[in-house]
Structures are given as structure tokens and as C-alpha cells.
């Protein structure tokens, strides 16, 4: 979670808030990629073509060998989202972000799973509407 913590501290500093006033939650850690951990997409395509093709057909339910699917990640993230009672900043990576978007916007699994995240945006959710900042 080092990158997420660093990003949170940058966000808090930009907002003029104390940069140590946050907490972490392991349920928001990035999805486990199992045997694919540390591999690039090109390497996966070359070394595990059949599995990669299965992932492309159903990104929401596919789990790499020894890893998590987006559905599995959502099951651990959902209790965190359900417990939110006030305005909250969540800093996370792609898989967790896809699950947050699915829940907050009521997206179907295909649309949520295929979303490509920009690296330079903040997503604001309010009343079922998403705003990119």
C-alpha cells in the first residue's frame, strides 16, 4: 500500500489537511494477481495466452492462477463502502477502483471490468453520479 499511502498524503497536502490524518484498511489493497504478479500484459499474453483470452472474455469473474477476480475483490471491498457514513477519500489501485465504481454507479460487471483508469484523475461520487476531477 506504499503507493496508495503516498498518493493519499499528496491529496491531503493539496487540500491543506494534515498528511498523517488517515487510516489504512487491508480490505482496500490491490487485487492479488497470483502467478501473474509482477508480469506485464505482454508477458502474460506470451506465456499464458489461453488464460489471457479467458480474462478478456470475462474480466469480472476471471482470476489468475492463485489470484483474485474482480468479484472476489469486490466482496472484501463492499463492507468498507457500506460502512462509509460521511464524505470519505479512498485511494486505491485499478481493481479496487473498478469495484468502487461498480458499487457507486450501479454498473454491470462488463462495463465495470473493462474500465481503463486514467492515472491523473480523482473520481468523485455523489448521488450515483461520477465526476472526474
Q: What is the pTM of this model?
A: 0.89
**Tally of domains within the chain:** 2
User: What does the alpha-carbon distance between residue 61 and residue 116 come to, in Å, rounded to a whole number?
Assistant: 17
Residue 42 belongs to domain spanning? 32-67
Each residue's pLDDT expressed in tens, for the chain with a length of 133 residues: 788 999 999 999 999 999 999 999 999 999 999 999 999 999 999 999 999 999 999 999 999 999 999 999 999 999 999 999 999 999 988 999 999 999 999 999 999 999 988 888 889 998 889 998 8
* 75 and 102 assigned to the same domain: yes
Residues 46, 27 share a domain: no
Residues 125 and 86 in one domain: yes
Q: 61 and 7, same structural domain?
A: no
**Same domain assignment for residues 116 and 60:** no
Instruction: Check whether residue 7 and residue 48 sit in a common domain.
Output: no
Amino acid at each position: 500500500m506504499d503507493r496508495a499511502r503516498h498518493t493519499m498524503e499528496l491529496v491531503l497536502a493539496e487540500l491543506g489537511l494534515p498528511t498523517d490524518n488517515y487510516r489504512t484498511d487491508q480490505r482496500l489493497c490491490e487485487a492479488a494477481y497470483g502467478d501473474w504478479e509482477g508480469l506485464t500484459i505482454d508477458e502474460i499474453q506470451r506465456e499464458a495466452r489461453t488464460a489471457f483470452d479467458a480474462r478478456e472474455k470475462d474480466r469480472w469473474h476471471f482470476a489468475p492462477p492463485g489470484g483474485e477476480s474482480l468479484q472476489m475483490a469486490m466482496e472484501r471491498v463492499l463492507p468498507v463502502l457500506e460502512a462509509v457514513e460521511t464524505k470519505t477519500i479512498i485511494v486505491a489501485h485499478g481493481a479496487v477502483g473498478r469495484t468502487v465504481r461498480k458499487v457507486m454507479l450501479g454498473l454491470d460487471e462488463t462495463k465495470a471490468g473493462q474500465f481503463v483508469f486514467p492515472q491523473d484523475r480523482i473520481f468523485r461520487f455523489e448521488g450515483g453520479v461520477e465526476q472526474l476531477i
